[in-house]
């Protein structure tokens, strides 16, 4: 059993020696972590640059233009093109792995836990982004189809097209939120609210836009019924007019 420290100088020297011993023993781990970070940063940067050049060579940017991804990036004020964005995501994902390796080298368990959680979340986030991109394209297609189909007959075709876009993209948002683990109860409430709002908006749009068309159809139906009544009234009167038309017909047959 070690002897108890009875004076302050001895206690200070003992604590200082223990701290220096711990620091000296940790120097190799710290140097190893710094080396991992340095090499990892350089290698991941080089890999990202090579990936961006390869993606541009296979015309990923042209495909992004056709899919509308470039327009979304421009609206978000992202300066990089689609190939650069993909390469940047891959670069920082690899750098997170490098940070995890460096944290494990110096036994920083808290940092390792946080980085592990981020690494587990990133794939779901990427899938959610892909879902949003796909539903954005589908929503644009639905808006164009609905507008083109209804524009010749309905004056509010563009409004209904916008509603179709919102409904389709809303489903995409719900799917993406489910992918990243948003609470299911919140999603159900949001879904019910969106469906109710869309139903109300569609009813108002159809009622306001189709009012004149419905009035025209009603007038045509009333006119057709009135013509049938007018044409049938003289015939009925002739057939039931005290029997005189029938008697004349019978007299003509006898003669």
Query: For 94-105, how does the pLDDT look when each residue is reduced to its tens digit (9 = 90+)?
Result: 999 999 888 888
Kindly report the backbone phi and psi dihedral angles of residue 120, in degrees, each rounded to the nearest multiple of 5, phi listed first.
-75, -25
Return the half-sphere exposure (C-beta side, CA atoms, 13 A cut-off) of residue 155. 7
What is the reported pLDDT for 197? Answer: 73
Task: Summarize the confidence of residues 3-15 as an average pLDDT.
Answer: 66
Q: For residue 37, name the pLDDT band (cuts at 50, 70, 90).
A: very high
Q: Tokens in use for 204?
A: 């108002």
For 183-214, how does the pLDDT look when each residue is reduced to its tens digit (9 = 90+)?
666 767 777 777 777 677 666 666 666 666 66
Convert 74-114 into a string of H (helix), E (strand) and C (coil): HHCCCCCCHHHHHHHHHHHHHHHHHHHHHHHHCCCHHHHHH
For 132-180, how does the pLDDT look when each residue is reduced to its tens digit (9 = 90+)?
888 888 888 888 888 888 777 777 778 878 888 888 888 888 888 888 8
Better-predicted residue by pLDDT, 210 or 72: 72
- Cβ-contact 166, 140 below 8 angstroms: no
Q: Tokens in use for 41?
A: 């940063």
Q: In 3D, which of 33, 190, 19 has the Cα closest to residue 111?
A: 33
- Cβ-contact 93, 44 below 8 angstroms: no
Please return the burial class of 201, using the count of CB atoms within 10 Å of its CB with bins 0-12, 13-18 and 19+: middle
Q: In 3D, which of 82, 83, 66, 62 has the Cα closest to residue 74?
A: 82
Please return the burial class of 4, using the count of CB atoms within 10 Å of its CB with bins 0-12, 13-18 and 19+: exposed
> How far apart are alpha carbons 52 and 106 in whole angstroms?
33
What number of other Cβ atoms are within 10 A of residue 246's Cβ?
13
DSSP string of 199-237?
HHHHHHHHHHHSHHHHHHHHHHHHHHHHHHHHHHHHHHH
pTM over 0.85: no
Lowest mean pLDDT among 39-43, 116-120, 234-238: 234-238
Q: For residue 249, name the pLDDT band (cuts at 50, 70, 90).
A: very low
Which 3 state secondary structure label does DSSP give 35? helix
What is the reported pLDDT for 48? Answer: 92
Which 3 state secondary structure label does DSSP give 180? coil
DSSP state of 7: S
Neighbouring residues of 127: CB distance < 8 A, sequence distance ≥ 6 = 179
For 45-59, how does the pLDDT look when each residue is reduced to its tens digit (9 = 90+)?
999 999 999 989 988
The answer, yes or no, to whether residue 252 has pLDDT greater than 60, is no
What number of other Cβ atoms are within 10 A of residue 115's Cβ?
20
Neighbouring residues of 128: CB distance < 8 A, sequence distance ≥ 6 = 176, 177, 179, 180
Better-predicted residue by pLDDT, 71 or 85: 85
Share of the chain above pLDDT 90, in %: 9
């Amino acid at each position: 059993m070690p002897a108890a420290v009875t004076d302050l100088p001895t206690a200070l020297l003992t604590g200082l020696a223990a701290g220096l011993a711990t620091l000296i023993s940790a120097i190799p781990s710290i140097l190893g972590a710094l080396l991992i970070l340095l090499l990892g940063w350089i290698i991941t940067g080089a890999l990202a640059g090579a990936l961006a050049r390869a993606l541009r060579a296979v015309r990923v940017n042209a495909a992004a233009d056709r899919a509308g991804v470039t327009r979304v990036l421009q609206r978000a004020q992202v300066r990089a093109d689609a190939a650069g964005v993909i390469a940047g995501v891959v670069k920082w994902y690899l750098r997170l792995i490098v940070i995890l390796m460096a944290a494990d080298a110096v036994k920083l368990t808290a940092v390792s836990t946080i980085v592990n959680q981020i690494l587990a979340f990133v794939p779901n986030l990427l899938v959610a982004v892909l879902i949003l991109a796909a539903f954005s394209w589908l929503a644009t297609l639905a808006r164009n189809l609905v507008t083109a189909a209804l524009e010749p007959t309905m004056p509010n075709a563009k409004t209904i097209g916008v509603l179709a876009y919102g409904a389709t993209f809303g489903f995409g948002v719900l799917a993406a939120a489910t992918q990243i683990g948003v609470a299911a109860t919140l999603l159900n409430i949001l879904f019910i609210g969106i469906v109710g709002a869309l139903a109300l908006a569609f009813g108002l749009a159809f009622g306001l836009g189709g009012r004149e068309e419905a009035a025209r159809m009603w007038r045509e139906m009333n006119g057709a019924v009135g013509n049938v009544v007018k044409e049938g009234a003289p015939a009925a009167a002739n057939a039931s007019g005290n029997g005189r038309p029938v008697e004349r017909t019978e007299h003509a047959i006898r003669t």
